[in-house]
């Protein structure tokens, strides 16, 4: 057993030093513009209101210092690749808020871009908390990255505690239905879960409707091979012009232009225990608000890629 552990530990430390050597190299070779990006990220991260312990973690496993490592590729995606433009981000409330957005694109770049917008453009800068599907917690590495970046397994209890602690939480009530929607269904909001509305009522949290325009064309789904997904225990198995033909790289998004619209906060009144019909009426209002923003965005943009 000990021999096994020694070998594994040696391999682990070799990997680790290789990784840090690469990090040093890239650090030295970083073009000035990229170093500039890092400085901006540091400045924003320092201004985030977060409750960190002496080891730099918050109660749910977020570690802003880890976000810093991921910041450069994400910010490059944000500014150079998707060329994200936001509107209305100043209307996001300062304290607790529930950001409700449309979800699409096979991989959750929409979540990452909303998160990046909230960090780089909101005042004060915020690290939005993502409610992830349970299966994300089962994935090696991805589960850790998600947690360090502010994600948690999306249980109502955890969401409620985060809201009560004043966090801003991002949720996609379309869930996987949205992420794996087909190109023909783009910008058609799928059925919304109602859990978010009950939580908003219970914790008196304002809801910010968010519309992401661009993500729905980033990786056009032609079909969803559900039997294959079941076989591989995946939430969906999209067939796109590039996936699975080019392997995992085939899921890389097209260089669409992202427009993110933050709508006016909606404060709902009432009890969290009302019957489904009453809750669904309020959910419908949020859905309508997002649909309106999506339509406006599609009308106003010059094209999918510019």
Partner 1 sequence: MEKVLIAGISGGQGRLVAHRLLDEYVLCGVDRHAWEGRPQGIALHRVDLLKRQFEDVLRTEKPKAVVHLGFVRHFRGVEAERHETNVRGTQLLLEHCVKYGVEQLVVVSSGYVYGAFAENPFYIHEDHPLSGSRSYPEIRDLVEVDTLASSFIWKEPGVRTAVLRPVSVLGTQVHSLSREILSQRRVPVVMGFDPMMQFIHEQDVAEAVALALDRGLQGAFNVTGPGAVPISVAIRECGSTPVPIPELLMRPLFNRLFRAGLIPWPAGVLDFMKYPVTLDGSRFEEESGFRPLFSLGEIFAAMREGKDP
**Which residues are at the interface with partner 1 (CB under 8 A)?**
1-2, 4-6, 8-9, 12, 53-55, 57, 59-61, 134-135, 137-144, 147, 152-153, 155-158, 161
- State the nearest-atom distance from the C-beta of 8 to partner 1, in Å: 5
**Choice between 137 and 285, CB closer to partner 1:** 137
**Least distance in Å: CB of 261 to partner 1?**
31
CA distances from 40 to 27, 45, 69, 81, 221 (A): 16, 9, 13, 18, 36
Query: Is the Cβ–Cβ distance between 258 and 112 less than 8 Å?
Result: no
| Surface-to-core class of residue 38, CB atoms within 10 Å of its CB (0-12 exposed, 13-18 middle, 19+ buried) | middle
Report d(CA 132, CA 171) in Å as an integer: 8
Question: Looking at 9-77, which runs of residues are DSSP E strands?
Answer: none
Toward partner 1, which CB reaches closer, 97 or 146? 146
- Least Cβ distance, residue 63 to partner 1 (angstroms): 8
Rounded CA separation 154/147 (Å):
12
Nearer CB in complex with partner 1: 57/78: 57
Distance CA 169, CA 159 (A): 8
Nearest distance from residue 222's CB to partner 1, in Å?
A: 31
Q: Pick between residue 60 and residue 252 the one whose CB is nearest to partner 1.
A: 60
Q: How far is the CB of 289 from partner 1 (least distance, A)?
A: 29
Residues with Cβ within 8 Å of 302's Cβ and at least 6 positions away in sequence, in order, are none
Query: How many angstroms separate the CA atoms of 233 and 248, rounded?
Result: 16
Phi/psi at 62 (nearest 5 deg)?
Answer: -70, 140
CB-wise, 135 or 268, nearer to partner 1? 135
Q: What is the DSSP letter of 266?
A: B
Minimum distance between the CB of residue 118 and partner 1, rounded to whole angstroms?
Answer: 21
Give the nearer residue to partner 1 in terms of CB position, either 4 or 249: 4
Q: Which is nearer to partner 1, 57 or 196 (CB)?
A: 57
Cβ of residue 59: shortest distance to partner 1, in angstroms? 6
Q: What angle is formed at CA 122 by the lines to CA 121 and CA 125, rounded to 5 degrees?
A: 100
- In a 13 Å sphere around the CA of 188, the CA atoms on its Cβ side amount to 8
Beta partners for residue 168, in sequence order: 97
Six token digits for residue 290: 């997002």
């Amino acid at each position: 057993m000990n021999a096994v552990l020694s070998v594994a530990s040696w391999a682990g430390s070799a990997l680790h030093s290789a990784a840090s050597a690469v990090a040093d190299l890239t650090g030295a070779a970083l073009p000035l513009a990229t170093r500039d990006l890092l400085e901006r990220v540091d400045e924003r991260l320092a201004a985030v209101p977060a409750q960190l312990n002496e080891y730099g973690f918050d109660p749910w496993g977020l570690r802003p210092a880890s976000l810093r490592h991921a910041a450069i590729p994400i910010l490059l995606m944000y500014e150079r690749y998707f060329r994200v433009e936001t509107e209305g981000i100043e209307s996001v409330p300062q304290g607790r808020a529930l950001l409700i957005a449309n979800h699409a694109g096979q991989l959750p770049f929409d979540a990452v871009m909303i998160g990046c917008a909230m960090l780089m453009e909101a005042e004060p800068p915020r690290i939005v908390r993502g409610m992830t599907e349970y299966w994300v917690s089962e994935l090696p590495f991805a589960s850790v990255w998600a947690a360090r970046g502010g994600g948690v397994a999306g249980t109502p209890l955890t969401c409620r505690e985060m809201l009560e602690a004043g966090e801003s939480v991002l949720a996609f009530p379309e869930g996987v239905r949205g992420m794996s929607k087909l190109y023909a269904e783009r910008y058609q909001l799928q059925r919304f879960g109602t859990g978010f509305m009950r939580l908003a009522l219970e914790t008196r949290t304002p809801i910010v409707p968010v519309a992401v325009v661009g993500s729905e064309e980033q990786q056009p789904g032609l079909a969803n091979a559900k039997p294959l997904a079941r076989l591989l225990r995946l939430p969906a198995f999209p067939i796109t012009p590039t996936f699975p033909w080019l392997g995992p790289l085939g899921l890389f998004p097209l260089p669409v232009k992202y427009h993110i619209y933050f709508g006016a906060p909606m404060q709902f009144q009432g009890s969290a225990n009302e019957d489904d019909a009453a809750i669904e009426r309020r959910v419908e209002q949020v859905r309508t608000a997002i649909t309106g923003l999506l339509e406006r965005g599609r009308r106003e943009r010059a094209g999918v890629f510019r």
